Structure 1
């Protein structure tokens, strides 16, 4: 992967031990929003493509129980170690550590892909969506919640981009929907809202 992607991983590796506490309010809000919308079943094969410290995985298992398969992927080793510790008593959870642009799973592996708070970090978003389309089973669902680069948040987004070592490439909802259409995703639900100084977007997409 390129240096921008590697810099993002190094940043979160250093942040891992304090990540949940430092971003607690932000995480509580975005996780609650996604959990209110998401629909999963015990027969699902689920990929959390940028699982971080495993907080979302813990929450979805509390809400929905276990799954046929649950894979937590994150390229930052220290973030993944936190996830492994958090889910140390959970059964049948798999951990992988690939960049999302380089997911190696076979075609039509998953029925559900969750992409929370991470799409704006990806340096090759077209490649990510191509991967998602490839590894989702026909009729599978992609759930995305991310920053919405619109309104006054455009200013905050620029400051974050200037000041942070992370790769930042947030999208507006129309931009994201255009990218999704290019990769044969059908958007069946969408939402936008503001929270404090952030603007967010949500899409539920079905693989065509």
Structure 2
């Protein structure tokens, strides 16, 4: 579906073709606080939102976690594996001629934050609450900046990653977590403890 540049029509239909069935409902009455102080958004996020306002709803909302049913777990595995297999790694410099640009990989190419945006969109289009799907900036095992998708569930926080076909708990990644979106407002970013600045990406994969 994403075999060459310009073949982006599949993006809007991906969740439907995938057969994702959303059976993970938001936990009723559960409120989860942000884990740190507000911090600066990653380079590229503000520009992405300006170009894609539908992907960046503004204003506060009720934080929600997913009830991690067997169906929901299978859907996470399918989305993570499908995007990893169908989007080809390419740096922003190779792709766009700039150091950093966030974009949905509708032409089949992207770097780590583009994989994250695709996975997030597919899950939201399938009915998952965006409050449980948090774009997260980390330092990988080589100390380089990297972006992943954190999925907040009633059984813990799990990571969708273009460097791993499996979905694993956050503390099994070996990463240092820098910042992520607030559950209460996707345009507010909160610090996760590591104060050393890190770009969203350092390589395509």
TM-score (norm 1): 0.28
Higher strand share: 1
Higher helix share: 1
Where relative contact order (Cα < 8 A, 6+ residues apart) is larger, the structure is 2
TM-score (norm 2): 0.28
